[in-house]
Amino acid sequence: VSAEARVVVAALLAPVPGQRPSPEELLEMSWVGGDAAPDKPLPNSHNQLRAFNDSRRAWRVAIAALEFFALVPCIEAEGDATSALSGHSTAQALIVQPMTNSSPISHTSGIAIDPGFSEEALAELRTSFDTFDEDRSGAISSEELLDRFLELGATEAEASAVLARVDSHHTGDISFDEFVAVVGPMMRERGRIALQRAFEQLDRDHSGSIDRSELIEMLAKLGLPNDGRTVDEMMRAADVDGDGVISFQEFSKM
């Protein structure tokens, strides 16, 4: 922080309100008025901003994949509790049903993809989808789903239940459109319940925060990049208070 900036901050933090600068006086200070500010971009600022955005994107990809896995407890709760949406179960409330003939239908699965999703959001969802679609066939097979869910700690029965719920066209696999129909609304709305379940998957020791080793472990389980530089950048992007771990509040802002 420059000396000029420190002068401004100190003036604004004066304990006596009458000693704080007025708006007019602030504008006369060199740091605010622009005299002290360089007219050239900060060194490496473009690369730093790109790295920060890439890290936030990596977080969103991982969170979307974990929110898909969060269907497991939703389906387990089916029959025990009902949602406020027409009496459907919690799991059913998360699933977007096939659209009518008047809706924009995907040629792949008959599920409409919300046209409100940006290309960037769909690209992130595709990367999350690919963490399950290991052979990049364009569909998550029952074997691929089982392998990934077992890696994340689910049972074979739970993986089968998720497949049965999401595979609305009974093809025996999950298309990208079917995946988006489920995870897309969760990604857009970022509901606290889904986020909490995703956070708990990362917080393996139940400490209430995510440390570097836990992030590495989960990225590896999801088949996502987990090299030192990637992890360092992800931690730096999320760790707002600089305490070395990611709280739920910090996590929820990713």
pLDDT, one tens digit for every residue, the chain (254 residues): 677 888 888 889 887 788 889 988 988 888 887 665 556 666 666 777 788 888 888 998 998 898 888 787 666 554 444 343 334 444 443 333 333 333 333 434 445 556 667 888 889 899 999 999 999 999 999 999 999 999 988 899 999 999 998 998 899 999 999 998 888 877 666 567 778 888 998 999 999 999 999 999 999 999 999 999 999 999 999 998 899 999 998 998 87
| pTM attached to this predicted model | 0.64
Domain pair 61-189 / 203-252, same fold: yes
Q: How far apart are CA 219 and CA 147, in angstroms?
A: 15
By the 8 A CB rule, do 128 and 68 touch?
Answer: yes
Contact 131, 224 (CB under 8 A): yes
Is-contact 214 204, C-beta < 8 A?
yes
Candidates 3.90.660.10, 2.40.50.140, 1.10.238.10, 3.40.470.10; correct CATH number of 203-252?
1.10.238.10
Domain ranges across the chain: 3-33, 61-189, 203-252
CA distance 142 to 140: 7
d(CA 104, CA 94) in angstroms, rounded, equals 20
Looking only at the bridges linking them, the beta strands covering 209-210 and 139-141 are unpaired
Query: Backbone phi, then psi, for 89, in 5-degree steps?
Result: -75, 170
- The dihedral formed by the CA atoms of 65, 67, 73 and 77, expressed in degrees to the nearest 10: -140
Coil, strand or helix: which one is 70? coil
Q: Which CATH architecture does the domain made up of 61-189 adopt?
A: Orthogonal Bundle (1.10)
Do the strands 209-210 and 246-247 form a parallel or antiparallel pair, or are they unpaired?
Answer: antiparallel
